[in-house]
Amino acid sequence: MRRPTLEAVAARAGVSRSTVSRVVNGQPTVTPDIRDVVMRAVDELGYVPNGAARNLVTQRTDSVALVVSESPNRLLSDDPTFATVIRAASLELEAAGRQAVLLLTGSSDSHARVEKYIAGGYVDGVMLVSSHGADLLPVALTRLRVPAVSYGRPTVPVAMPYVDNDNVSGAADAVRHLLERGRRRIATIAGPLDTIGGQDRLTGYRDVLRDSDRRSIVAVGDFTRESGAVAMRQLLADDPDLDAVFAANDLMAIGAMRALRLAGRRIPDDVAVVGYDDIEAAGYTDPPLTTVHSPHAEQAAATVRLLLNLFEEGRADSVIMPTKLVVRHSS
């Protein structure tokens, strides 16, 4: 069955082709009576506007790229954060009448393909997620003058608006909580130091210990459960008398808790544990995990709104969202 054409709608409505085009493209230069006649013909014929042709006229695709700087394996791992961010951003875009296009840049080849795709004008703008190290994509987007925002502060100095949570303050709250509970040898399992989250949470941890004249005890993980277990074993070997650990995300904290149990340490009696993110699993660990609540869904939605504001007004201001310590039984 042939797809109904613009000409067929014009013939059914008894108007010109250009009038039908103005109606389906939402232009206001058509009287309400004519608009009703055209839309009735559209419904009767089941006409669907040609998106590519309409885009040539409007210079809009109504699509936004969600660019995640991770490999497919990392994206599909047991870390629920990515799913939360993508779902919240997609829902916010849908509410605004726009389509999310998911693009992964976990390798140099995929990075080049994504940059070429964006440069080709297939999307109206970009939301960057999970930037690592000297990621050149923010610089490339600035050079291409593509409207772009970042979920989280970019890892490179670039004039790109972003929405982040207060990583430094959240980590500091976690460490102060442990000090208030009488803990004196507080270690941390830092996140990857090529990420802003990893860097800032380590800064918050170190700031509080420095102010209380205590030394830092640091191991580095990669935000996975396995790396948390490995780092915890390293910390115990380096300092068997430690009595608390702050992990830079909940998955590493869960891994650390398993390593502590296997080492015969009771939680929180021997070693208190605090995580970061407040994923759903944090409330179901044994004991339930004290953690810093990071508003990932709200942050993702706010990042989309920042991009929409950039579309409408040509400028947008970065936002830092507060965190909240959720005290459970692991500390």
pLDDT score recorded for residue 2: 61
The amino acid sitting at 47 is: Y
pLDDT digits (tens, 9 = 90+) for 179-202: 999 999 999 999 999 999 999 999
pTM above 0.75, yes or no: yes
CA dist 4 and 24 (Å) reads 14
Hey, which CATH number is domain 167-293, 3.30.300.130, 1.20.1630.10, 1.10.540.10, 3.40.50.2300? Answer: 3.40.50.2300
Which overall architecture, per CATH, does domain 63-165+297-321 show? 3-Layer(aba) Sandwich (3.40)
- 298 phi and psi, to 5 degrees? -65, -35
Which CATH number applies to 6-58: 3.30.470.20, 1.10.260.40, 3.30.450.20, 3.20.20.70?
Answer: 1.10.260.40
Please list, in sequence order, all residues whose beta carbon lies within 8 angstroms of the beta carbon of residue 298, skipping any fewer than 6 positions away. Answer: 88, 321
In 3D, which of 114, 104, 110 has the Cα closest to residue 140?
114
pLDDT given for residue 50 in this prediction: 58
Matching CATH topology for 63-165+297-321 and 167-293? Answer: yes
Average confidence score pLDDT of the chain: 90
Confidence of residue 139 (pLDDT cuts 50, 70, 90): confident
Of the candidate ranges 12-16, 111-115, 232-236, 297-301, the one whose mean pLDDT is the lowest: 111-115
Q: Give the residue among 306, 312, 317 at the shortest CA–CA distance from 148.
A: 306
Q: What is the pLDDT of residues 142-177, one digit of tens each?
A: 888 889 999 999 888 888 999 999 999 999 999 999
Question: How far, in Å, CA of 263 to CA of 247, rounded?
Answer: 18
**Residue with more model confidence, 119 or 166:** 166
